[in-house]
Copies of this chain bind each other. A is one copy, B any other.
Amino acid sequence: MSSDSDCRSVTCQASPNIALIKYWGKRNEELILPDNDSLSITLDTNDMHSYTTVSTSSSMTCDTFYFDGVQQTKLASRMQKVLNEIRRRTKDGKIKFVEIRSHNTFPASSGLASSASAYASLAIALTNLFNLDDAQSTAAYLARIGSGSAVRSIYGGFVRWSSEGECLSSCVFPAEHWSEFRIVILIFNSSKKAVSSTDAMQRTRQTSTLFQARLSTINEKMTQLIEAIKNKDFNAFAKIVMMDSSQFHAVCMDTYPPVIYLNEQSKHLIHLVHAYNQMDGDQTTKVAYTFDAGPNPFCFIRQEHVDEFLRLLKYFYPTVNADADKQVSSDADEKFSSITLPVTPNVLERIVLTKIGSGPKIIS
C-alpha cells in the first residue's frame, strides 16, 4: 500500500448475481453489448461478496493488482480496458495509476461466477474514488466492459440488463419486495472447468440455427417474468425460469461443435425437482432450478418450503459414512420414497442457502 500523503482509497463490496433470464450472445464484443435483455437476482452480500479496495497516489508508476493478497504479474486485458476507460473519463489528467486489492468471501468452486461481483465492486470503487459523474450509470458501464453480466451486480434485488439504448442495468424490484424468497445453491463435486462462456457464446451466435428463435422469445418472457415477480406468483415465476434455463442449454447443445454444461447430477436434480413439485399433486410449485454455464444448480424456493427441500436433498444426496461400513446415512423420510429416482450418495459437496441482497456497499 502506498504511503504518499496524496494517497486516496475506496473500498466496495458487491455480490454475484444469478440470471433468471440468461444473457447469451454479444452483438458487440468490445463494448459487450448483449443480444438480449436479461434479468437476475443479486445475492446477499452478508453471505458472499467480492471485496475490492482501489487506491491512487501521484507517486504510483504503474497499475498493480493484488488478488487474495498476492500481486498478479499481469493485469487481465479486460481490467486494463476498465482502467483505460477511467483515465479517459477523468479530465484533470492527474490520475495516472491505481492499485487494486481484491478478494472473494466465497470460493471459486462455489459454482458462482466471481467475475460479476469482482468487476461490479471494482467499478463502483473506481467511480467513487474519482468522483465520476452519474456514479451508478458510470459504474454500470465500467462493470459491463469488464465482464458483461457484472453490470447486473451494480444493483440489489431483481435487476434487468437492457440490450437496447445504453445497455445498462436497472433495479426492477428491490430485495424487500419478495422477502420470503430464498436461493439454495447446490455444489456437486468433481465439476470440471466448463467451456469458457465467452468462446461458447460466440460459437452459438455463429453456428446455432435455433439462436435467433431464442432471441425472439425473450421480450414476451421478460414481460411475463416481471409480472410474476410483481405478483409474487411463484408458480408462474418457476415455470418461466426453468424454461429459460433449458432453452439456454438447448441453444448451447445446438452449437457446433455442441457445448454441454449439464452433467448426470444436473439431470438428476432436474428430474428430482419436477418429481418433487408434482409429489403432492396440488399444483403448487415449491422449487425451481436454473443452471448457468456449468453443472451446478441454483434453486429458488420460498422460506416455508426450505426445511422440507433440505430434507429432500439429504434423502437423495446422502453422504456415505465410511465408518459405518459404507451405509448410506440418509433420512428415512417415508414421504420421499414415492419419488422413483435413484439415491446418489457422495455427489453433493456443499449446499449454500442465501437470499436476495440489497446491492453493493461502499465501506470507506
Contacts and interface: CB of A to CB of B under 8 A. Distances in A.
B242 A246 contact: no
A263 B260 contact: no
Nearest to A263: B264
B256 A242 contact: yes
Nearest to A275: B257
Contacts of A274: 257
Q: Place the interface of chain A in its size category.
A: 20 to 34
Label chain A's interface by main secondary structure.
Answer: helix
Interface in A262-293: 262-264, 267, 270-271, 274
Interface stretch (A18-26, A32-40, A222-230, A247-255): A247-255
Interface in A49-90: none
Say how many copies of this protein the assembly contains.
Answer: 2
A264 B239 CA distance: 27
A251 to B, nearest CB: 7
A251 B270 CA distance: 16
A253 B246 contact: yes
A214 interface: yes
A72 B258 CA distance: 43
Interface of A: 207, 209-210, 212-214, 217, 239, 242-243, 246-247, 249-251, 253-258, 260, 262-264, 267, 270-271, 274
Given A207-B243, A246-B256, 14 more contacts: A209-B217, A210-B247, A239-B256, A242-B257, A243-B256, A246-B258, A247-B254, A250-B253, A253-B253, A257-B270, A257-B271, A260-B262, A263-B264, A263-B267
